[in-house]
Structure 1
Amino acid sequence: MTKRLKIASWNINSVRARIALVEQLIREQQPDILCLQETKVLDSIFPAELFLQQGYVHHALNGQRMHHGVAILSRVPLKDPGKHDWQDNGEARHIGVRLECGIRLENVYVPAGGDTPDRNLNPKFGQKLDFIERMTRWSETLGEPTVIVGDFNVAPLECDVWSHKALINVVSHTPVEVEALTRLQQAHDWIDIGRRFVPAPERCFTWWSYRSRDWTKNDRGRRLDHMWASPELANHLSAHQVLEPCRNWQRPSDHVPLICELAV
C-alpha cells in the first residue's frame, strides 16, 4: 500500500523564540516530518515536549548554544542518525536519518558566507565554498535514495532573486557560489524539487530580509531554501509548496517553510 510522506523544512531562526509559529505550522500543515535549521539551542534544552505532545515522538538533534543548530522531528520512525561536519570546525549544521521506507533524509544549514564575496578578504566566504565542496564530495559517493533539505544560502538561478543584475556581486547569488552549487547538484544528479513543481523562470522566493519595512511591497526575495531528491525518487515526488504567507506571521523568521510530498 502506497503512503504519502509529507516533509517540511524551515529555517526557524530560533526554535524557542518562535515556538508558537512552529505550533501553527504543525496545526495547519500536519507534516509527517519537520526539519528545522538555525534552532539556536543546545540539545539538552531543546523544547522537545511540544513536539511529543503533537505526536512527533522521534527526534534527531544537533544543537548549539546561540548559533546554528538543526533538528528532525518525526511522527514516523527514524533510524541511524548521523552528523557530517561539512564546516570542518564542529559547528552544528547537519543531521541525517534513515526512514523505514529506505530513504535517507538529510537536513543541512549552509553558512551564509559573510558580506564580501572574496575568500582572501573574507574567510567566512571561503568556509562557505569549502562547505559546499565537502557536500559535493559526499554526494559523489551516495548509493541510496536520499532527500536533502535545508537552507543552502545560495539562490542559483537568475530568476531565484528579485534582480539578477543588482545581486550578481552580492553573497548568495555570485557566480562562484552558483558554480559551486551547480557542481554539487551534478555530483548526484540531484532533482531540484522546487523547480520541478515551479519551473523557471516562474517567481519562487523563500527569504526576504528583515531590513525591508514592507517585504510584500518591494518583494525583494531570494530562493535560498531548497529540497533536492535522488534521481531514482523522481517518480515518487507528488507535491511541493512554498508557504509564503508564513512571512506575515507574528514575529516571523526571514525564511518561509517548504513542504514536499513523496509516495513511498
Structure 2
Amino acid sequence: MTLRLATWNINSVRLRIDQVARFVEERAPDVLMLQEIKCTTDQFPRGAFEDMGMPHLRVAGQKGWHGVAIASRLPLEDSDTFQVCKLGHARCVSARVAGIDVQNFYIPAGGDVPDRALNPKFDHKMDFYEQLTAIVAKQDKSRPLVMAGDFNIAPGEGDVWNHRYMSKIVSHTPLEVETLNRLQETGGFADVLRDRFPEPQKLASWWSYRAADFRKSNRGLRLDHIWTSPGLTPAVVKDTARIHDDVREWERPSDHAPVTVDLSV
C-alpha cells in the first residue's frame, strides 16, 4: 500500500477550508498534517473533513493562535505526543496510522531578535528544540516515525533566497541551523525533500504576503519539513517528495505551500 503524507501550514483552517478540500481532491493525500489552524478544538470543521473522505481526526486547537491537526482517510490510533512547549501552546499533535507514528509540529517562529537573553520568543524556540531533541534521543530509531510540520527554520543555503543576508535573520541564523541539525542527527532522520533535491538546488515552501507576486520577488524559505526515522526511511517512495508551490498561487492562499511524500507500507 502507498501512503501519501502531506504537511501544510494552512494559516486558518476555517478561512481556507475550500482550499483544503481542493487540495485533498486534486493531490489525494491519505494523511494531512495541518499547522496554524487558528481555532479551538470544538470549532474545527469536522464535517468538512468527513465530506472530503478524511473523517479520522486528531485536533489540538487554541483560541486565535497556533493549533495543529491530523486528518486521515485511514483510522488513527493514539500515540504519545512529544509535548515540549513550555508555554502550553497547541503546537504538537500525534497519531499512529498504518503502523507509523506521526508527530505534527508548529514550532515557534522566535520573534525578530536572535538572542535568547534579549528575546523571550527566541528563547522559547530554542527551548522547544532542546526539549524535543532530548525526547528524540530516547526513541528507538527502528521505530517507524515521521516528524513533520512548520519547523520555522530553513537549514541549508539552498533553503533561503540569500544565505548571506538571511544568516542574520531569525529562521536561518547559525544557532538555529546548528540546533535543527542536532535534532536531525540525534534521531538519524532523513529529510525527504533534500534527499530528492540535493543542495545547491533552491527550495522554498513559504513566501511573504508582502510581495504582490511571490514568484517574481523570489524570496522564499523552506520552513516546512517531513523527516523519517531510520526505521521508516526505506519505505520512502523514490522521487515522490515535493513542494506544491502552485497552491501558493490559489486565491487567498496561505503563505505556506503543502509538502508531500509517498511511503510504501
TM-score bin (small chain): over 0.9
Structure 2 equivalent of residue 141 of structure 1: 138
Instruction: Choose which of 106, 111, 116 in structure 2 pairs with 1:109.
Output: 106
Structure 2 equivalent of residue 129 of structure 1: 126
Structure 1 equivalent of residue 93 of structure 2: 95
User: After alignment, is 23-32 or 231-240 more displaced?
Assistant: 231-240
Superposed CA RMSD in Å reads: 0.9
Structure 1 equivalent of residue 255 of structure 2: 254
The within-5 A match list for 1:7-156 is 7-99=5-97, 101-143=98-140, 144-156=143-155
Matched letter for residue 197 of structure 2 = V
Local SS of the residue matching 1:260: strand
* TM-score using structure 1 length: 0.97
CA displacement at 1:244 relative to structure 2: 0.4
1:10-29 alpha-carbon deviations (Å, 9 max, x no partner): 00000001111101101111
Distance in 1, Cα, partners of 2:138 & 2:109: 25
1:55-83 alpha-carbon deviations (Å, 9 max, x no partner): 11210010001100000000111101443
Structure 2 equivalent of residue 195 of structure 1: 194
CA displacement at 1:84 relative to structure 2: 3.3
Matched letter for residue 107 of structure 1 = N
Local SS of the residue matching 1:40: coil
1:19-51 alpha-carbon deviations (Å, 9 max, x no partner): 111011011111111110000011111100011
* TM-score using structure 2 length: 0.96
Local SS of the residue matching 1:221: coil
Structure 1 equivalent of residue 246 of structure 2: 245
1:121-180 alpha-carbon deviations (Å, 9 max, x no partner): 111001000101111011111122101110000000111100001111100000000010
Structure 1 contact 85–91 (Cα < 8 Å) conserved: no
Structure 2 contact 82–135 (Cα < 8 Å) conserved: no
Matched letter for residue 130 of structure 2 = E
Distance in 1, Cα, partners of 2:75 & 2:139: 22
Structure 1: unaligned runs, 5 residues or longer: none
Number of matched pairs = 261
CA displacement at 1:98 relative to structure 2: 1.1
Structure 1 contact 81–95 (Cα < 8 Å) conserved: no
Structure 1 equivalent of residue 226 of structure 2: 227
Distance in 1, Cα, partners of 2:79 & 2:42: 17
Structure 1 equivalent of residue 162 of structure 2: 163
Distance in 2, Cα, partners of 1:73 & 1:107: 11
Local SS of the residue matching 2:95: strand
Structure 2 contact 82–132 (Cα < 8 Å) conserved: no
Matched letter for residue 86 of structure 1 = V
Distance in 1, Cα, partners of 2:159 & 2:62: 30
Percent identity over the alignment is 46
Structure 2 contact 110–122 (Cα < 8 Å) conserved: yes
Distance in 1, Cα, partners of 2:203 & 2:133: 25
Structure 2 contact 205–223 (Cα < 8 Å) conserved: yes
Local SS of the residue matching 2:241: strand
Matched letter for residue 33 of structure 1 = V
Matched letter for residue 112 of structure 2 = D
